[in-house]
Amino acid sequence: MEQKAFWERRAREFAGLYEEPTLFNRLFRRALYLRAQMTVERVRAVPGASVLDVGSGPGRNSVLFVKEAGAARVVGVDLAEDMVALARDLAARHGTADRCSFATGDFMKTDPPGAPFDFAVALGVMDYIGDPAPMLARMRGLARREVIASFPGFAPLRVLQRRVRYALGGCRVYWFGRAEIEGFFRSAGFPSWELLPCSGAGWLGVGRTG
Protein backbone atom coordinates (compact mmCIF):
# COMPACT_ATOMS: atom_id res chain seq x y z
CA MET A 1 0.00 0.00 0.00
CA GLU A 2 2.92 2.38 0.68
CA GLN A 3 4.21 1.91 -2.86
CA LYS A 4 0.74 2.43 -4.30
CA ALA A 5 0.38 5.77 -2.49
CA PHE A 6 3.90 6.81 -3.52
CA TRP A 7 3.23 6.23 -7.23
CA GLU A 8 -0.19 7.86 -7.08
CA ARG A 9 1.53 11.03 -5.85
CA ARG A 10 4.30 10.86 -8.43
CA ALA A 11 2.35 9.73 -11.49
CA ARG A 12 2.58 12.96 -13.50
CA GLU A 13 6.16 13.67 -12.49
CA PHE A 14 7.23 10.19 -13.56
CA ALA A 15 5.34 10.46 -16.85
CA GLY A 16 7.36 13.57 -17.65
CA LEU A 17 10.56 11.51 -17.77
CA TYR A 18 9.19 9.84 -20.89
CA GLU A 19 7.08 12.51 -22.52
CA GLU A 20 9.49 15.43 -22.18
CA PRO A 21 12.98 14.02 -21.54
CA THR A 22 15.38 16.78 -20.52
CA LEU A 23 19.07 16.94 -21.38
CA PHE A 24 19.79 15.90 -17.77
CA ASN A 25 17.63 12.79 -18.14
CA ARG A 26 19.16 11.94 -21.51
CA LEU A 27 22.65 12.14 -20.03
CA PHE A 28 22.20 10.73 -16.54
CA ARG A 29 19.17 8.48 -16.99
CA ARG A 30 20.18 7.05 -20.34
CA ALA A 31 19.46 3.51 -19.16
CA LEU A 32 15.77 4.39 -18.84
CA TYR A 33 15.51 4.92 -22.61
CA LEU A 34 18.08 2.31 -23.63
CA ARG A 35 16.34 -0.56 -21.85
CA ALA A 36 13.08 0.33 -23.57
CA GLN A 37 14.72 0.34 -26.99
CA MET A 38 16.48 -2.96 -26.31
CA THR A 39 13.12 -4.48 -25.39
CA VAL A 40 11.45 -3.01 -28.47
CA GLU A 41 14.03 -4.78 -30.65
CA ARG A 42 13.28 -8.15 -29.05
CA VAL A 43 9.52 -7.72 -29.41
CA ARG A 44 9.91 -6.55 -33.01
CA ALA A 45 11.57 -9.88 -33.87
CA VAL A 46 8.19 -11.61 -33.32
CA PRO A 47 5.62 -10.22 -35.79
CA GLY A 48 2.25 -9.48 -34.19
CA ALA A 49 3.52 -10.27 -30.70
CA SER A 50 1.46 -9.99 -27.53
CA VAL A 51 3.07 -8.27 -24.54
CA LEU A 52 2.28 -8.13 -20.84
CA ASP A 53 3.68 -4.86 -19.44
CA VAL A 54 4.11 -5.29 -15.68
CA GLY A 55 4.28 -1.99 -13.81
CA SER A 56 3.22 -0.19 -16.99
CA GLY A 57 3.20 3.23 -15.31
CA PRO A 58 2.14 6.09 -17.61
CA GLY A 59 2.04 3.72 -20.60
CA ARG A 60 4.98 5.01 -22.58
CA ASN A 61 6.58 1.60 -23.06
CA SER A 62 3.25 -0.04 -23.86
CA VAL A 63 2.69 2.46 -26.66
CA LEU A 64 6.26 1.93 -27.92
CA PHE A 65 5.68 -1.81 -28.13
CA VAL A 66 2.78 -1.16 -30.51
CA LYS A 67 4.16 1.75 -32.55
CA GLU A 68 7.83 0.77 -32.82
CA ALA A 69 7.80 -3.00 -32.29
CA GLY A 70 4.54 -3.83 -34.10
CA ALA A 71 2.92 -5.63 -31.16
CA ALA A 72 -0.63 -6.67 -31.90
CA ARG A 73 -1.74 -6.54 -28.27
CA VAL A 74 -0.32 -5.04 -25.07
CA VAL A 75 -1.85 -5.42 -21.62
CA GLY A 76 -0.46 -3.16 -18.90
CA VAL A 77 -0.89 -3.70 -15.16
CA ASP A 78 -0.02 -1.06 -12.56
CA LEU A 79 -0.70 -0.46 -8.86
CA ALA A 80 -1.56 3.21 -9.21
CA GLU A 81 -4.91 4.35 -10.61
CA ASP A 82 -3.44 7.68 -11.67
CA MET A 83 -0.75 5.88 -13.68
CA VAL A 84 -3.38 3.78 -15.44
CA ALA A 85 -5.44 6.90 -16.25
CA LEU A 86 -2.34 8.54 -17.78
CA ALA A 87 -1.58 5.37 -19.76
CA ARG A 88 -5.07 5.20 -21.23
CA ASP A 89 -4.90 8.86 -22.20
CA LEU A 90 -1.47 8.38 -23.81
CA ALA A 91 -2.66 5.37 -25.81
CA ALA A 92 -5.67 7.34 -27.03
CA ARG A 93 -3.49 10.30 -28.08
CA HIS A 94 -1.12 8.01 -30.00
CA GLY A 95 -3.90 6.04 -31.69
CA THR A 96 -3.03 2.74 -30.02
CA ALA A 97 -6.01 2.37 -27.67
CA ASP A 98 -7.35 -0.48 -29.82
CA ARG A 99 -4.21 -2.51 -29.08
CA CYS A 100 -3.30 -1.27 -25.59
CA SER A 101 -5.39 -1.98 -22.50
CA PHE A 102 -4.56 -1.19 -18.89
CA ALA A 103 -5.69 -2.54 -15.54
CA THR A 104 -5.17 -1.32 -11.98
CA GLY A 105 -4.01 -3.91 -9.47
CA ASP A 106 -1.23 -5.79 -7.74
CA PHE A 107 0.36 -7.94 -10.44
CA MET A 108 1.00 -10.76 -7.97
CA LYS A 109 -2.75 -10.92 -7.26
CA THR A 110 -4.14 -9.94 -10.67
CA ASP A 111 -5.02 -12.26 -13.55
CA PRO A 112 -4.25 -10.26 -16.71
CA PRO A 113 -6.77 -10.86 -19.50
CA GLY A 114 -5.66 -12.72 -22.58
CA ALA A 115 -2.83 -14.75 -21.05
CA PRO A 116 -0.50 -16.27 -22.06
CA PHE A 117 1.55 -13.60 -23.85
CA ASP A 118 4.58 -13.89 -26.08
CA PHE A 119 6.51 -11.56 -23.77
CA ALA A 120 6.16 -10.51 -20.16
CA VAL A 121 8.09 -7.30 -19.51
CA ALA A 122 8.95 -5.37 -16.33
CA LEU A 123 11.07 -2.27 -16.92
CA GLY A 124 11.94 -0.12 -13.93
CA VAL A 125 10.00 -2.37 -11.57
CA MET A 126 12.60 -4.53 -9.83
CA ASP A 127 14.14 -1.34 -8.41
CA TYR A 128 11.36 -1.49 -5.80
CA ILE A 129 11.22 -5.25 -5.17
CA GLY A 130 13.44 -6.73 -2.47
CA ASP A 131 13.18 -10.29 -3.85
CA PRO A 132 12.29 -10.32 -7.57
CA ALA A 133 12.26 -14.13 -7.87
CA PRO A 134 8.53 -14.63 -7.10
CA MET A 135 7.56 -11.92 -9.60
CA LEU A 136 9.82 -13.44 -12.25
CA ALA A 137 8.26 -16.84 -11.61
CA ARG A 138 4.75 -15.44 -12.07
CA MET A 139 5.83 -13.68 -15.26
CA ARG A 140 7.36 -16.92 -16.52
CA GLY A 141 4.00 -18.63 -16.11
CA LEU A 142 2.34 -15.99 -18.30
CA ALA A 143 4.90 -15.82 -21.14
CA ARG A 144 5.32 -18.19 -24.08
CA ARG A 145 8.70 -16.89 -25.23
CA GLU A 146 10.60 -14.50 -22.98
CA VAL A 147 10.47 -12.63 -19.71
CA ILE A 148 12.34 -9.33 -19.92
CA ALA A 149 13.15 -7.30 -16.81
CA SER A 150 15.54 -4.49 -15.93
CA PHE A 151 17.70 -4.57 -12.80
CA PRO A 152 19.59 -1.58 -11.39
CA GLY A 153 23.26 -2.06 -10.59
CA PHE A 154 25.15 -0.49 -7.71
CA ALA A 155 26.78 2.91 -8.33
CA PRO A 156 27.64 4.86 -5.15
CA LEU A 157 26.56 8.35 -6.23
CA ARG A 158 23.35 7.21 -7.87
CA VAL A 159 22.50 4.92 -4.97
CA LEU A 160 22.88 7.69 -2.40
CA GLN A 161 20.83 10.16 -4.41
CA ARG A 162 18.00 7.72 -5.08
CA ARG A 163 17.96 6.30 -1.57
CA VAL A 164 17.47 9.74 -0.02
CA ARG A 165 14.96 10.99 -2.60
CA TYR A 166 12.74 7.90 -2.48
CA ALA A 167 13.01 7.43 1.28
CA LEU A 168 11.53 10.90 1.76
CA GLY A 169 8.46 9.66 -0.10
CA GLY A 170 8.24 6.41 1.87
CA CYS A 171 9.42 4.11 -0.93
CA ARG A 172 12.38 1.72 -0.64
CA VAL A 173 14.73 1.11 -3.55
CA TYR A 174 17.09 -1.82 -4.23
CA TRP A 175 20.23 -2.65 -6.26
CA PHE A 176 21.57 -5.98 -7.41
CA GLY A 177 24.80 -7.63 -8.49
CA ARG A 178 25.13 -9.91 -11.51
CA ALA A 179 25.38 -13.12 -9.49
CA GLU A 180 22.36 -12.10 -7.42
CA ILE A 181 20.25 -11.48 -10.52
CA GLU A 182 21.24 -14.84 -12.01
CA GLY A 183 20.12 -16.40 -8.74
CA PHE A 184 16.69 -14.80 -9.13
CA PHE A 185 16.24 -16.31 -12.60
CA ARG A 186 17.45 -19.68 -11.34
CA SER A 187 15.06 -19.61 -8.37
CA ALA A 188 12.20 -18.59 -10.66
CA GLY A 189 12.67 -21.78 -12.69
CA PHE A 190 14.01 -20.45 -16.00
CA PRO A 191 15.80 -23.05 -18.13
CA SER A 192 18.10 -20.35 -19.54
CA TRP A 193 18.66 -16.61 -19.36
CA GLU A 194 21.09 -13.85 -20.29
CA LEU A 195 22.03 -10.52 -18.75
CA LEU A 196 22.62 -7.64 -21.16
CA PRO A 197 24.56 -4.59 -19.86
CA CYS A 198 22.45 -1.45 -19.89
CA SER A 199 24.52 1.74 -20.10
CA GLY A 200 26.59 0.89 -17.05
CA ALA A 201 23.54 1.39 -14.84
CA GLY A 202 22.49 -2.25 -14.54
CA TRP A 203 21.24 -5.07 -16.71
CA LEU A 204 18.39 -6.14 -18.89
CA GLY A 205 17.63 -9.73 -17.92
CA VAL A 206 16.07 -12.01 -20.52
CA GLY A 207 14.68 -15.32 -19.33
CA ARG A 208 13.57 -17.90 -21.88
CA THR A 209 10.49 -19.81 -20.90
CA GLY A 210 10.94 -22.85 -23.10
Rounded Cα gap, residues 90 and 62, in angstroms:
10
pLDDT above 80: residue 200: no
pLDDT band at 187 (very low <50, low <70, confident <90, very high): very high
- Which of 25 and 171 is assigned the larger pLDDT? 171
Find out whether 67 and 51 touch, Cβ atoms under 8 Å.
Answer: no
The structure's pTM equals 0.84
Least confident of 22-26, 145-149, 170-174: 22-26
Tens digits of residue pLDDT in 163-172:
545 554 566 7
Q: Where are the domains of the chain?
A: 2-208
Residue 158's pLDDT is 55
Percent of the chain with pLDDT over 90: 68
CA end-to-end distance (rounded Å), the chain? 34
Residue 1's pLDDT is 45
Percent of the chain with pLDDT over 70: 77
Q: How confident is the model over 14-28, as a mean pLDDT?
A: 50
Rounded Cα gap, residues 142 and 101, in angstroms:
17
Q: How confident is the model over 101-111, as a mean pLDDT?
A: 94
pLDDT above 60: residue 26: no
pLDDT above 90: residue 157: no
Fold of the 2-208 domain: Rossmann fold (3.40.50)
Q: How confident is the model over 15-43, as a mean pLDDT?
A: 70
- Which of 53 and 128 is assigned the larger pLDDT? 53
Query: Residue 108 to residues 55, 104, 135, 149, 174: CA-CA distances in angstroms?
Result: 11, 12, 7, 15, 19
pLDDT above 80: residue 46: yes
